[in-house]
């Protein structure tokens, strides 16, 4: 009987050793993937900031170049379609007595 117990004990130790080794390998892979994802996230954050700055600079440049000027004497604004809005100053009305 002692031989059978010895074989069972050796089998149990082998199973535990393989299980621990597999867990360690999986933990190492997860850690490597996590580090790789952290680097990618940092790169994405930097690229988003650069793109945001580029877009803001482009919008500033285009808004200064293409800002519509309103002639106070004429007072019309074209809305891009068939409609034209006329800005007319109306004199203040006095309340009726």
pLDDT in tens, 5-21: 999 999 999 999 999 99
Is the Cβ–Cβ distance between 43 and 36 less than 8 Å?
Answer: no
Contacts of 79 (CB under 8 A, 6+ apart): 85
Better pLDDT: 52 or 61: 52
For 68-84, what is each residue's pLDDT tens digit?
Answer: 555 555 555 555 555 55
| Alpha-carbon distances of 21 from 12, 17, 27, 81, rounded to whole Å | 14, 6, 10, 72
Looking up tokens 């068939």, which residue turns up?
82
Average pLDDT over residues 27-46: 96
Looking up tokens 């900031």, which residue turns up?
49
């Amino acid at each position: 009987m002692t031989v059978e117990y010895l074989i069972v004990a050796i089998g149990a130790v082998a199973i535990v050793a393989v299980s621990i080794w597999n867990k360690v390998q999986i933990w190492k892979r997860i850690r490597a993937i996590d580090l790789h994802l952290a680097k990618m996230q940092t790169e994405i954050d930097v690229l988003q900031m650069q793109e945001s700055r580029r877009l803001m600079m482009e919008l500033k440049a285009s808004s200064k170049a293409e800002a519509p000027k309103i002639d106070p004497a004429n007072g019309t604004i074209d809305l891009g379609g068939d409609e034209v809005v006329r800005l007319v100053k109306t004199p203040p009305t006095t309340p009726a007595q």
